[in-house]
Amino acid sequence: MSNSQALTKSALWDWLTTVDHKKIGIMYLVAGAFFFALGGLEAMLIRIQLMFPESNFVSAQAFNELITMHGTTMIFLAAMPLLFGLMNFIVPLQIGARDVAFPFLNSLGFWLFLSGGILLNLSWFFGGAPDAGWTAYVPLSSAEYASTGLDYYVLGLQISGAGTLIGGINFLVTIITMRAPGMTMMKMPLFTWSSFVASALILFAFPALTVGLFLLMFERLFGANYFIVEAGGNVVIWQHLFWIFGHPEVYILVLPAFGIFSEVLSTFSKKRLFGYSAMVFATLIIGFLGFMVWAHHMFTVGMGPVANAIFAVATMAIAVPTGIKIFNWLLTIWGGRIKFTTANLFALGFIPSFVLGGVTGVMLATSAANYQFHDTYFVVAHFHYVIIGGVVFGLFAGTFYWWPKIFGYMLNETLGKWFFWLFLFGFHLTFFVQHFLGLMGMPRRVASYLDGQGLNDLNFISTIGAFFMAVAFILLLVNIFVSRNDKAVADPWDGRTLEWATPTPVPEYNFAQTPVARELDALWYEKMQGNKKMPVAEPLGDIHMPNGSILPVIMSIGLFIASFGFIYHTYWISVVGLGITLGCMVVRSVKEDHGYHIPVEEIQQDKEVG
């Protein structure tokens, strides 16, 4: 074996077995970006089909599969992992920790997500993708009306959902227990705070999805009757379970994005976040109210006027803390020295874009009017304003902001600004007109629309906008490629928080000596005090690190295999697959693993090089 082969093999092994939060973060980002591109491709096919009336670009069946997979992919396999990627890489650095609380679980969470995501997408090649919408309402998703695609949906989401739940618990424990000395909860950076609240939402929301998926799985695979009306079942229960998960999910996505905006706006205005404690409490209140409003997705399902009125008012209430956040951001840039970097352009572009999505949210919360909006393109426009204007803008802001820290080089600013303007323009062109399409009588999830209903022009405009977004995304990929030699310094943006106190590339152990956080924006505080370095809490010494492990990969493969057994009703395969996973759990439990120590000499050496 040649030397280079040996090197590749060991590099591959290193990535498969790593429990380093930074490497796991990068793997989340790469996998998330892949699924983002896939979901984007599906979106383009959808918009091409809807460009002209009565089009036959794809069949109605294929269209239903495309919309289902677009939604499912973008939420579960793109937005969540991309946020998890940033959270994984950044949160431990921001709190001055050497890793997350449970490095092994962190790795397991990633591999479960990936195997669930791959499983779900394999449905394209084995009898067709799921076709009941990302919400998979019964009875359309039941065994009687949907083929194996829905089994892939149920099992794929179950596995990746377990990964998400594990990840959420891990972040909660990490943030509670591993903050650097001096960093009280009320001195944590906003991104860490919002990651914390989002993780708490994951902890309480995902079990509802798990339960729903289990019921659907048992019904589809083993003939249970939870949702079968003739057998005494009730189809609305699925919707409740789905949205008890599904609504908090919106906040699981958007709160970390809010955190990113808070960091970026503050850094590039050279001002501390205005109303920090108000921001923290607004985040907590949004997280709490997020659990009280799920039924606003179900105003037309027949809950009656009392429930509808209560959920309408509760939903409107969320506008208050969200408004508090918007005004605090405005006051953060007010009086600052605003630098228009690409990261900041996305953060600034977010404010008007998200406000438009927010106000349509209040309009939708108006239950009596919602009967007109519900399940039309008005809703499609609204949630894309929230998810793209909020979450995706946040991801792009975070990407440009943290890219130098994560990947060690600067993304090109000129290309970045082209990317921003094309994306912003394309985004509004695509989705603004959809508000009107909905009110003009276009239901959502229609595979096409008849000519002569006055819907042609706006659909055409919407598709043109989608092409702008696609071109913009390609520019981002070009940027990532052509900028790769532009080495980054440790603190390129004159940062305020602890991640910018680490060298670039960040060493395996993050901080040679655990820093002491004396104030909010700990690094900025030291800079203003004239200190070149963070004060430290410990002398230089050996650093205890966790060992890597291949078990998470094998455990995920075990569940992957078991799923195929379930989908094709060949249960011995499931037994084998589950056996592999359980076996790994036993091995993990009984094997002693004390980790290893990085000797102080090596750290000393790194320091001198750095």
Partner 1 sequence: MKQLGRLLPLSALLLLLAGCGEVNLSALDPQGPVAEMQLSLIKLSLYIMIIVIVVVFVIFAIALIRFREKPGDTHIPKQVEGSKTLEIIWTTIPVILLLILAIPNVMDTFTLANVEADENSITVNVTAHQFWWEFEYPDHDIVAGQDMYIPTNTKILVNLEASDVMHSFWVPALAGKQDNVPGITNEMWLEASHPGVYKGKCTELCGEGHWLMDFRVISVERDVFDKWATNMIGPEQEPASQLAETGREVFQASCIGCHAVGGVGGNPASGGPDLTNFGEREVIAGFLEFNEENLEKWLRYPAETKPGNKMPPFNHLNEDDMKALIEYMKGLKVLD
Q: Are strands 543-545 and 596-598 parallel, antiparallel or unpaired?
A: antiparallel
Q: Sign of dihedral through CA atoms 151, 250, 29, 103?
A: negative
The window from 153-161, 202-210, 268-276, 502-510 that contacts partner 1 (CB under 8 A) reads 268-276
Using CB under 8 A, which residues numbered 462 to 481 contact partner 1?
Answer: none
Distance of alpha carbon 374 from alpha carbon 299, whole angstroms: 8
* The binder of partner 1 chosen from 367, 412, 430, 574 (CB under 8 A): 367
100/424 with CB nearer partner 1: 424
The alpha carbon torsion through 313, 318, 324, 325 (nearest 10 deg) reads -160
Q: How far is the CB of 15 from partner 1 (least distance, A)?
A: 40
Using CB under 8 A, which residues numbered 131 to 170 contact partner 1?
Answer: 132-133, 137, 139-140, 145
Determine if 370 is a binding residue for partner 1 (CB under 8 A). Answer: yes
210/448 with CB nearer partner 1: 448
Distance of alpha carbon 467 from alpha carbon 421, whole angstroms: 13
Sequence-distant (≥ 6) Cβ neighbours of residue 609 within 8 angstroms: none
CB count in 10 Å sphere of residue 266 = 26
Using CB under 8 A, which residues numbered 442 to 461 contact partner 1?
Answer: 443-450, 452-455
Determine if 362 is a binding residue for partner 1 (CB under 8 A). Answer: yes
**Residue 544, beta-bridge partner list:** 597
CA nearest neighbour of 406 among 88, 98, 178, 19: 88
Q: How far is the CB of 412 from partner 1 (least distance, A)?
A: 20
The window from 19-27, 94-102, 369-377, 392-400 that contacts partner 1 (CB under 8 A) reads 369-377
The window from 116-124, 248-256, 327-335, 390-398 that contacts partner 1 (CB under 8 A) reads 327-335
* The binder of partner 1 chosen from 124, 218, 436, 460 (CB under 8 A): 436
Using CB under 8 A, which residues numbered 394 to 433 contact partner 1?
Answer: 428, 432
Q: How far is the CB of 402 from partner 1 (least distance, A)?
A: 21
Query: Residue 529 to residues 180, 550, 596: CA-CA distances in angstroms?
Result: 19, 46, 37
243/473 with CB nearer partner 1: 243
Q: How far is the CB of 313 from partner 1 (least distance, A)?
A: 5
What does the block give as tokens for 138? 């019964």
* The binder of partner 1 chosen from 191, 276, 560, 564 (CB under 8 A): 276
Contact yes or no for 146/73 (Cβ under 8 A) = no
3-state secondary structure of 116: helix
Q: How far is the CB of 71 from partner 1 (least distance, A)?
A: 11
Determine if 372 is a binding residue for partner 1 (CB under 8 A). Answer: yes
Using CB under 8 A, which residues numbered 223 to 252 contact partner 1?
Answer: 229, 233-236
What does the block give as tokens for 356? 């438009």
Using CB under 8 A, which residues numbered 281 to 300 contact partner 1?
Answer: 300
Contact yes or no for 75/249 (Cβ under 8 A) = yes
Q: How far is the CB of 140 from partner 1 (least distance, A)?
A: 4
Distance of alpha carbon 560 from alpha carbon 577, whole angstroms: 7
- DSSP H or E stretch at residue 166: helix 149-177
Using CB under 8 A, which residues numbered 81 to 120 contact partner 1?
Answer: none
Using CB under 8 A, which residues numbered 50 to 69 contact partner 1?
Answer: 59-61, 64
* The binder of partner 1 chosen from 45, 118, 143, 369 (CB under 8 A): 369
CA nearest neighbour of 350 among 269, 262, 278, 418: 262
Determine if 328 is a binding residue for partner 1 (CB under 8 A). Answer: yes
Please count the residues of this chain forming the interface with partner 1, following the rule CB under 8 A. Answer: 92
Determine if 216 is a binding residue for partner 1 (CB under 8 A). Answer: no
Distance of CA 203 to the CA centre of its chain: 15
CA nearest neighbour of 86 among 300, 263, 339, 344: 263
CA nearest neighbour of 149 among 127, 174, 168: 127
Determine if 351 is a binding residue for partner 1 (CB under 8 A). Answer: yes
